[in-house]
Chains A and B, each alone.
Chain A
Amino acid sequence: MPLTSAARWRLIAYAYGLLVVVGMGYFLLGIPVQLTDSYGNIVKVSNGSFGSLVYGEFYQRSYLRPLLFAQLRFVYDLSGGHYSEWFRAWHVGQVLVLVVLFLRILNPRTAAGAAVVPIGLAMLIGGHTFAGTVREAFPINTFMTIVLCCYAGLDLALGPPRWWRDVAAALLFVFASLTVESGLLLAVIFVAAYAAGARGVSRAGVATIVLLVAGYLYLRFGWLHVGSPSLIERSSGFGFGTLEPDALIARFGERPYLFYAYNVMSSVLTVLFGEPRGGVWELTRALVRDQPAGPGLITMLACAMATAVIAAYVWSRRAEWRGRRFDRSDQTVIVFAAMLIANAVVSYPYTKDVIMSPAGSLFALALAVSARHFIPGRVRLQPDQAPRGVRLQPDRDRAVGWRSSVAAAAFTVLAVTWSYRALDAYLGLRNAGAKARTEWVYADQWFEREGQTLEEPGALALKNQLQTDAILRSPAPPALTGDWLEWFEQ
Chain B
Amino acid sequence: MKFVPSVSTALGLLLAVPPIAVTLTVLVFAASERAGYMPLSDGPPRNLAEAAGMADGAAVLRMMASGDDPNRVMPIRPEIISSTVRQVTALEAAVWSRRGQLVRLLDDRGAIVGGTMRRELTCLARDIGTDEVASYLMPSGDPGCEKGQTLERVLARSRSTEPER
Tell me the complex Cα distance, A400–B5, Å.
Answer: 13
The segment out of A234-242, A274-282, A350-358, A438-446 that lies at the interface is A438-446
Looking at chain A's contact residues, the main secondary structure is helix
Contact B16 A119 (CB under 8 A): yes
The segment out of B40-48, B84-92, B125-133, B137-145 that lies at the interface is B40-48
The segment out of A65-73, A177-185, A470-478 that lies at the interface is A470-478
Give the nearest-CB partner of A485 in chain B: B40
A345 near B: Cβ within 8 Å?
Answer: no
Count of chain B residues near A, Cβ 8 A = 47
Tell me the complex Cα distance, A22–B10, Å.
Answer: 28
Min CB–CB distance B92 → chain A (angstroms): 19
Given A389-B1, A475-B59, are A423 and B22 also a contact pair (CB < 8 Å)?
Answer: yes
Contact B16 A476 (CB under 8 A): no
Contact B11 A374 (CB under 8 A): yes
Contacts of B14 in A (CB 8 A): 408, 411-412, 415
Min CB–CB distance B151 → chain A (angstroms): 26
Contacts of B58 in A (CB 8 A): 437-438, 440-441, 470-471, 475-476
Contact B6 A393 (CB under 8 A): yes
Tell me the complex Cα distance, A404–B14, Å.
Answer: 12
Contact B108 A444 (CB under 8 A): yes
Contacts of A22 in B (CB 8 A): 27, 30
Contacts of B12 in A (CB 8 A): 111-112, 114-115, 375
Contact with B along A357-385 (1 / 0, CB 8 A): 00000000000000100111111000000
B33 near A: Cβ within 8 Å?
Answer: yes
Contact A378 B15 (CB under 8 A): no
A3 near B: Cβ within 8 Å?
Answer: no
Q: Of B4, B11, B40, B59, which is within 8 A of A404 by CB?
A: B11
Min CB–CB distance A281 → chain B (angstroms): 28
List CB contacts (< 8 Å) of B9-30 with chain A: 9-27, 30
How many A-B residue contacts, CB cutoff 8 Å? 148
Give the nearest-CB partner of B13 in chain A: A115
Tell me the complex Cα distance, A77–B104, Å.
Answer: 37
List CB contacts (< 8 Å) of A256-306 with chain B: none
Q: Of A111, A426, A437, A477, which is within 8 A of B8 by CB?
A: A111
A137 near B: Cβ within 8 Å?
Answer: no
Tell me the complex Cα distance, A480–B16, Å.
Answer: 27
A312 near B: Cβ within 8 Å?
Answer: no
A422 near B: Cβ within 8 Å?
Answer: yes
Contacts of A111 in B (CB 8 A): 8-9, 12
Tell me the complex Cα distance, A174–B51, Å.
Answer: 49
Contact B15 A475 (CB under 8 A): no
Count of chain A residues near B, Cβ 8 A = 61
List CB contacts (< 8 Å) of A428-485 with chain B: 437-438, 440-442, 444-445, 470-472, 475-482
A418 near B: Cβ within 8 Å?
Answer: yes
B61 near A: Cβ within 8 Å?
Answer: yes
Contact A479 B41 (CB under 8 A): yes
Give the nearest-CB partner of A122 in chain B: B19
Contact B1 A116 (CB under 8 A): no
B113 near A: Cβ within 8 Å?
Answer: no
Contact B62 A475 (CB under 8 A): yes
Contacts of A419 in B (CB 8 A): 18-19, 21-22
Contact B11 A438 (CB under 8 A): no
Contact B8 A379 (CB under 8 A): yes
A338 near B: Cβ within 8 Å?
Answer: no
Q: Of B15, B22, B104, which is within 8 A of A414 by CB?
A: B15
Tell me the complex Cα distance, A143–B102, Å.
Answer: 33
B165 near A: Cβ within 8 Å?
Answer: no
Contact B4 A390 (CB under 8 A): yes
Tell me the complex Cα distance, A438–B101, Å.
Answer: 11
Q: Of B15, B27, B42, B45, which is within 8 A of A415 by CB?
A: B15
Q: Of A114, A390, A416, which is within 8 A of B18 by CB?
A: A416
List CB contacts (< 8 Å) of A91-132 with chain B: 111-112, 114-119, 121-122
Contact B61 A441 (CB under 8 A): yes
Contact B1 A391 (CB under 8 A): yes
Contact A379 B19 (CB under 8 A): no
Give the nearest-CB partner of A111 in chain B: B12
A11 near B: Cβ within 8 Å?
Answer: no
Q: Of A23, A404, A438, A471, which is within 8 A of B7 by CB?
A: A404
B156 near A: Cβ within 8 Å?
Answer: no
Contact with B along A385-398 (1 / 0, CB 8 A): 00101110100000
Give the nearest-CB partner of B40 in chain A: A480
Min CB–CB distance A438 → chain B (angstroms): 6
Tell me the complex Cα distance, A378–B65, Å.
Answer: 65
The 4 closest A-B CB pairs, nearest first, are A115-B12, A441-B57, A118-B19, A122-B19
6 contacts between A and B (CB under 8 A): A376-B11, A378-B8, A393-B6, A438-B57, A475-B58, A482-B40
